């Protein structure tokens, strides 16, 4: 890791710090106005039986995140003069308008899927942002052009929709997003990639401000599909960029593949679990909404939203720290052990759920 420090300059540190603060402040001052306009125009949804909330709450927090990130990236695009910024901004704008429409009047899963595909293909085809090689992971090396496009598109769609799934309780989506963007931003910073570190820290700043309002009692606001799609897309974008550097870090202490898996393990394992439950047990569409998520189970046993969020975020940090101790292992073995640890750690909430349920049953029987 020390060998990468030679690429770091004070100028980059200052630029990234300003980007973080700029995005944070723009989002912080934008959300109250967004919330006021939303409430004044009656754009506040009524909670349904599936919701874990009982009060009507605005869902346009994603608009504030969009404004903070997009303005910061646009202002800094002239500094790095990167062709990647223009396609990224275009893709985010598409998702923004689609998300706003969905938050006002729910769109079908098919329409959202099409919009996500278009946004993803813009950065894949125009900026050539794609997974061209697995760098020997699972024994796979170079991919042909069309297969790499398909694999990259699949990763975009998987991550966008997996992130959307965890947006179910206060603070969880924001916390997972902060952990990922901050973690991968530090990795880009160490690797001497200020362009992508800028995107990461801008996203971190916006999410910190959003989290403040998301946990607020008087000024509460939800991320909505606008936010979940934009944040999920940026996480997917940064994941694909980071994976392109995986080859240069496989033999170092900075293994990006393991970092990526650890930071986003919860959304992926919860998505896989929910899809299997809906398809195999419930015999329903995988897009059918329900309350079978891990975070919903934690709420059902009496945990508060912030407690469930803290627990799941802590598990993410523990998994990351544990996985980083496996650098002496073969990369495929590292991935296998990380997945096993992740499944074990995120199974603990179910053990807790069953323990509480059994105690209630025994108590009722004794009565």
pLDDT tens digits along 43-52? 787 665 555 5
What band does 5 get if pLDDT is binned at 50, 70 and 90?
A: very low
Give me the pLDDT at residue 25, please: 97
- Cα dihedral value 281, 286, 290, 293, nearest 10: 80
Full residue range of the structural domain in which residue 144 is found: 2-366
What band does 3 get if pLDDT is binned at 50, 70 and 90?
A: very low
Q: What are phi and psi of 309, to 5 degrees?
A: -65, -45
Give me the pLDDT at residue 2, please: 39
User: How many residues comprise the chain?
Assistant: 367
Largest CA distance in the chain: 72
pLDDT exceeds 60 at position 177: yes
What pLDDT digit, counting tens, does each position of 198-252 carry? 999 999 999 999 999 999 988 999 999 999 999 999 999 999 999 887 665 554 5
Out of 81-90, 116-125, 356-365, least confident range: 356-365
DSSP 303: -
Give me the pLDDT at residue 49, please: 54
Mean pLDDT (whole number) for 60-67? 96
Mean pLDDT of all residues belonging to the chain: 85
What pLDDT digit, counting tens, does each position of 290-303 carry? 667 788 778 877 78
| Residues sharing a CB contact under 8 Å with residue 16, sequence separation 6 or more, in sequence order | 185, 189, 194, 197, 198, 201
Cα–Cα distance for residue pair 196/242, rounded to 1 Å = 9
What band does 13 get if pLDDT is binned at 50, 70 and 90?
A: confident
What band does 356 get if pLDDT is binned at 50, 70 and 90?
A: low
Tally of structural domains, the chain: 1
Q: Is 59 exposed, middle or buried (0-12, 13-18, 19+ CB in 10 A)?
A: buried
Taking CB atoms within 8 Å and a gap of at least 24, the contacts of 292-296 are 293/165, 293/166, 293/168, 294/266, 294/270, 294/346, 294/349, 294/350, 295/166, 295/168, 295/169, 295/172, 295/270, 296/52, 296/168, 296/169
């Amino acid at each position: 890791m020390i060998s990468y420090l030679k690429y770091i300059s004070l100028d980059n540190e200052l630029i990234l710090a300003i980007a973080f603060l700029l995005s944070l402040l723009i989002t912080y001052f934008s959300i109250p106005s967004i919330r006021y306009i939303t409430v004044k125009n009656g754009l506040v949804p009524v909670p349904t039986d599936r919701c874990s909330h009982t009060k009507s709450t605005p869902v346009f927090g994603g608009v504030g995140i969009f404004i903070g990130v997009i303005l910061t990236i646009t202002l800094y695009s002239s500094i790095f003069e990167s062709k990647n910024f223009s396609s990224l901004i275009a893709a985010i704008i598409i998702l923004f308008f689609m998300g706003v429409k969905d938050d006002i009047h729910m769109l079908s899963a098919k329409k959202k899927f099409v919009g996500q595909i278009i946004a993803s293909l813009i950065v894949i085809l125009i900026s050539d942002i794609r997974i061209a090689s697995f760098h020997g992971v699972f024994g796979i090396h170079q991919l042909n052009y069309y297969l790499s496009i398909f694999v990259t598109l699949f990763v975009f769609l998987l991550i966008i929709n997996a992130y959307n799934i965890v947006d179910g309780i206060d603070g969880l989506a924001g916390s997972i997003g902060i952990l990922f963007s901050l973690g991968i931003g530090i990795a880009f910073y160490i690797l001497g990639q200020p362009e992508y570190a800028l995107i990461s820290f801008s996203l971190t700043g916006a999410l910190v401000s959003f989290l403040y309002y998301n946990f607020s009692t008087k000024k509460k606001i939800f991320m909505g599909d606008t936010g979940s799609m934009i944040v999920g897309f940026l996480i997917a974008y940064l994941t694909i960029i980071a994976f392109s550097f995986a080859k240069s870090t496989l033999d170092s202490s900075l293994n990006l593949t393991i970092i990526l898996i650890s930071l986003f393990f919860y959304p992926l394992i919860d998505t896989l679990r929910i899809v299997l439950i809906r398809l195999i047990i419930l015999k329903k569409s995988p897009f059918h909404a329900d309350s079978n998520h891990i975070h919903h189970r934690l709420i059902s046993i009496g945990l508060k939203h912030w407690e469930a969020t803290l627990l799941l975020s802590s598990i993410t940090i523990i998994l990351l720290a544990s996985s980083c101790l496996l650098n002496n292992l073969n990369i495929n073995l590292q991935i296998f052990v990380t997945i096993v640890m992740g499944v074990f750690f995120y199974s603990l909430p179910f053990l807790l759920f069953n323990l509480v349920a059994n105690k209630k049953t025994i108590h009722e029987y004794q009565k």
